Amino acid sequence: MEIIAVDDEKLALESLVQSIEKASPKATVHGFRLGADAITYALEHKCDIAFLDIELRGESGLDIAASLKEIYPKINIIFTTGYGEYAGDAFGIHASGYVMKPVTEEKIATELKNLRHPYEDSEKKLQVKAFGNFEVFAGGQPLKFQYTKAKELLAYLVDRNGAMVSNQELLVTLWEDDDLENDHSSYLKNIRKDLVETLAAVGHEDVLVRQRGKMGILPGKIACDYFDYLNGENMDAYRGEYMSQYSWSELTHGLLF
């Protein structure tokens, strides 16, 4: 869980960060005294939760929250303040929560248990990198397939973003430059089996949806930069390349510009 905390007062920020770390020991917490620095950080790093002091010197916590929501629409904003009259403003920006100072571990823990957008541990999901070359990881380690085409099959299913894909479509796509009279049905059966077994070996077989003659994925079971981009999050991850090793990706790539 990635958390940012913003308070322009040094001691208040230290207290806030310590309270968050005690309430959520596994979280990574980054403290900032300037909202602009927090926004700069968020542009380059995934952020799940932001604790923001509403009233900062020369800055508005509400404006910072709005900027963070532009970067990550589902970021959980939790305001901290010593002034109760700001509660209405917090609700207006669809904040996840509101903590009255002095901040305590107990208050933080209560807010973390009642997030507007419940946190999902992306590290436990299958990790997919679609921008640049397509790569897939489990537990931080790259998956190794028996057949190279099995990896390409998974890439195409990710590209289809949950849509079911028929065997015929897979045959045409994965062997697009081959002689159409050459029947690859048996090979497709082997690479499908390889994909299923490889994912099962790392505990991610539930990513796949299989029906007779069709196959797909459950996007919610995958942490993927392409899916984040489609959801309006982490937009800077796209640097002009998408599944570069596969020529069939050019159609989707053209829609990303």
Q: Where are the alpha helices (DSSP H) in 72-117?
A: 87-92, 105-113
Query: How far, in Å, CA of 158 to CA of 218, rounded?
Result: 9
Out of 113, 144, 175, a domain closes at 113
Q: Which residues contact 101 (CB under 8 A, 6 or more apart)?
A: 12, 80, 81, 82
Query: How far, in Å, CA of 91 to CA of 98, rounded?
Result: 9
Asked if 67 and 153 sit in the same domain, the reply is no
Place of tokens 């082997």: 190
Query: How far, in Å, CA of 17 to CA of 35, rounded?
Result: 15
CB–CB of 139/202 below 8 Å?
Answer: yes
DSSP character for 242? Answer: B
Q: Give the CATH number of the domain where residue 45 resides.
A: 3.40.50.2300
Q: How many helices (H) and strands (E) does the chain have?
A: 10, 14
- CA Rg value for the chain: 22
Out of 70, 93, 113, a domain closes at 113
Asked if 250 and 132 sit in the same domain, the reply is yes
Q: How many domains does the chain have?
A: 2
Asked if 162 and 58 sit in the same domain, the reply is no
CB–CB of 235/70 below 8 Å?
Answer: no
Query: How far, in Å, CA of 124 to CA of 50, rounded?
Result: 22
pTM assigned to the model: 0.59
Asked if 206 and 90 sit in the same domain, the reply is no
Q: Burial code of 3-42, b = ≥16 C-beta within 10 A, e = fewer?
A: bbbbbbeeebbebbbbbbbebbeeeebbbbbebeebbeeb
Sign of CA dihedral 64, 68, 73, 74: negative
Out of 113, 139, 165, a domain closes at 113
Q: Which residues contact 117 (CB under 8 A, 6 or more apart)?
A: 74, 75, 76, 96
Per-residue pLDDT 10s for the chain (257 aa) are 899 999 999 999 999 999 999 999 989 999 999 999 999 999 888 789 999 998 888 888 889 999 998 888 889 999 998 766 555 555 556 688 889 989 999 999 999 999 988 876 556 789 999 999 999 999 889 999 999 999 999 999 999 999 999 999 999 999 986 655 467 889 999 999 999 999 999 999 999 999 999 999 999 889 999 998 998 877 888 999 999 999 999 999 988 87
Asked if 145 and 246 sit in the same domain, the reply is yes
Report the Cα 41 to chain-centroid distance in Å: 16
The reported pLDDT for the residue numbered 88 is 55
CB–CB of 125/221 below 8 Å?
Answer: yes
The reported pLDDT for the residue numbered 91 is 52
CB–CB of 156/248 below 8 Å?
Answer: yes
Q: Give the CATH number of the domain where residue 197 resides.
A: 1.10.10.10
Residue type, position 238, single letter: Y
Structural domain boundaries, residue 240: 122-256
Query: How far, in Å, CA of 235 to CA of 230, rounded?
Result: 9
